[in-house]
Amino acid sequence: MVGHVSRLLAAAVITATLTCSPAAAQTGDQAQAEVRAALLKWTADFNARNVEAVCDLFAPDLRYDYQGFPERGYDDICRLLRRSLSEPDKRYSYAPPAIKDIFVAGDLAVVRLTWTLKVRSVGARQEVTSEEEGVDIFRKQPDGRWQIIRFIAYTAS
């Protein structure tokens, strides 16, 4: 899995390098800020249990791979997120993502990041924390929003 992520990241770096110009750099900075803001908004919506907004980060044509599970899409992640946020006996929360890199090439952006998820069950003394490494690929939509079209995630070891 890590080799696959490295190849994906290398392709993104090459694409970004080949398409960057001084004029594109300004646009790239703005795009990076917009992508970062979209990730932070999603984190706030998730932590507020805003079930209606948690799918807004993902494009309808989303495809994703999560460590060891079959490839899934938009409907799958939305169903999972809504179910998790509606569980009365568990509380899920994400820390703001630790963004390592954001590469922008035109209407695509590749983000390498780490998510930290905390889960607390009702009556439990301690919460369970997990870290998930990942690569998110965003595309700027016709309405101007950046949405994830592909992502790969795996539990950090």
CA dist., res. 68 & res. 91, Å (int): 24
User: pLDDT for 16-27, tens place per residue?
Assistant: 444 444 444 447
Residue ranges making up the domain that contains 44: 2-155
pTM of this structure: 0.81
84: CB partners within 8 A, 6+ apart: 90, 92
Beta bridge partners of 155: 132
Element holding 44 (H helix, E strand): helix 22-47
State which amino acid sits at residue 116: T
Q: What is the CATH number of the domain that holds 127?
A: 3.10.450.50
As for how many domains the chain has, the answer is 1
Mean pLDDT of 36-57: 96
The predicted-structure confidence for 117-128, as pLDDT tens digits, reads as follows 999 998 888 999
